[in-house]
């Protein structure tokens, strides 16, 4: 039986937000080798019509989930992220490994 795409039935905004968080985690996250979790100490802020995530420029529309508490609540409920007591968001090992199918669709190298 083939693996099902999006088995947790994340909506489009949740998928985009998780995919961007994964890119950010790979670029500047604080990894815990024992648990497989990666903590994002801060999330990028949108300026103008885009946001910078690592070496990529992403449209503000695609990154709007970063500022949406409902997205983080849903991702937490599904076990993909967890809030830390301090600032930041932690991607669980499941969140780091979740295949969103979007990681290469809406990021492009930054021109500035």
Break the chain into its structural domains and give their ranges.
21-102
Q: Which of 20, 42, 18, 19 is nearest to 30 (CA)?
A: 42
Query: What's the pLDDT tens digit per position in 51-89?
Result: 888 778 888 998 999 989 999 999 999 999 997 666 789
Distance CA 104, CA 10 (A): 18
Distance CA 100, CA 51 (A): 20
pLDDT of residue 22: 92
Chain centroid to Cα 104, Å, comes to 13
Query: What's the pLDDT tens digit per position in 3-21?
Result: 678 999 999 999 999 999 9
pLDDT of residue 70: 94
């Amino acid at each position: 039986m083939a693996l099902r795409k999006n088995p947790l039935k994340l909506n489009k905004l949740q998928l985009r937000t998780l995919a961007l968080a994964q890119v950010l985690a790979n670029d500047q996250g604080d990894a815990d080798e024992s648990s497989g979790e990666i903590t994002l100490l801060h999330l990028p802020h949108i300026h103008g019509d885009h946001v910078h995530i690592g070496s990529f420029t992403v449209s503000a529309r695609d990154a709007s989930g970063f500022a949406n508490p409902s997205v983080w609540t849903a991702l937490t409920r599904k076990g993909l992220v967890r809030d830390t007591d301090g600032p930041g968001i932690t991607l669980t090992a499941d969140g780091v490994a979740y295949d969103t199918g979007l990681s290469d669709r809406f990021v492009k190298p930054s021109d500035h």
